[in-house]
Structure 1
Amino acid sequence: MLHSTSLKESGRFRALYARGKSSGGKRMVVYCMKSRFRELNRIGITVSAKLGGAVVRNRTRRRLREVYRLMEANTACGFDVVVVARHAAIEAPFEALQSELISHFKKLGMMRNED
């Protein structure tokens, strides 16, 4: 069951950066905040132009989106989330991205099942 959608409003990105809880690691920084939409999560993925050209940025964004999609069933609903990729995310193995995002979500209290 899908319970996520894209976060697109720049004002909401700024609010998450300013007032959201954050968790940072080697490959990414995750910001989250409770949302007014209780039944779904809204996720935004940011990859800076400093990290590379469009092909590199889009590949990194697609990989992070897939990591989230695979763990979506275990996440709690009602959050706005922004994932900011760091340079180490570009060459990181998929499993490393997956384990880091799971650890950030656990730290921020966004996981349904504490496996």
Structure 2
Amino acid sequence: MKTTLSLNKNYEFRRLYSRGKSYASPLVVIYCSKNHGTLNRLGITVGAKVGKAVRRNRVRRRIREIYRLNADRLKTGWDIVVVARAKAAEATYRDIESEFLKAAERLSLIRK
């Protein structure tokens, strides 16, 4: 099983927002940039527009699980930030998963 590290520092998120490649869908925005390691690092951002804490945490858990189940399909050595949009709170798990995979494909994060 692959290990995934978390992005925690504000400067790591800002670096991805300013220099990383991005793809926006109605439910999520994904930013990615190559890192100098062999592991992926994941950051998840769910803003207050998504709803109160219970809804934000539910969306965060869904995104984390989507990433976990599809981590073996993703290339390694990338920093990835997933930003949930307000519509993600009403979306189903399958909708978020399909948007995540479509965005990852567009950003060339999926292995061939």
Q: TM-score, normalised by structure 2?
A: 0.96
Determine helix, strand or coil for the equivalent of 2:2: coil
What's the CA shift for 1:94? 0.8
Q: TM-score, normalised by structure 1?
A: 0.94
Residue number in structure 2 paired with 1:93: 92
What's the CA shift for 1:46? 0.2
RMSD: 0.9
> Residue 26 of structure 1 contacts residue 86 of structure 1 at CA under 8 Å; is this kept in 2?
yes
| Structure 1 unaligned spans of 5+ | none
> Do structure 1's residue 73 and structure 2's residue 72 form an aligned pair?
yes
Residue number in structure 1 paired with 2:59: 60
Mapping of 1:10-21 within 5 angstroms? 10-21=10-21
Give the Cα separation in 2 of the matches to 1:79 and 1:111.
Answer: 11
| Structure 2 unaligned spans of 5+ | none
Give the Cα separation in 2 of the matches to 1:3 and 1:105.
Answer: 18
Give the Cα separation in 1 of the matches to 2:57 and 2:94.
Answer: 18
> Residue 3 of structure 1 contacts residue 77 of structure 1 at CA under 8 Å; is this kept in 2?
no
Aligned structure 1 segments of 4 or more residues deviating by more than 6 angstroms:
none
Residue number in structure 2 paired with 1:9: 9
**Percent of counterpart pairs with the same letter?**
46
> Residue 6 of structure 1 contacts residue 42 of structure 1 at CA under 8 Å; is this kept in 2?
yes
What's the CA shift for 1:59? 0.8
Larger mean Cα displacement after TM superposition, 92-101 or 23-32: 92-101
> Residue 50 of structure 2 contacts residue 88 of structure 2 at CA under 8 Å; is this kept in 1?
no
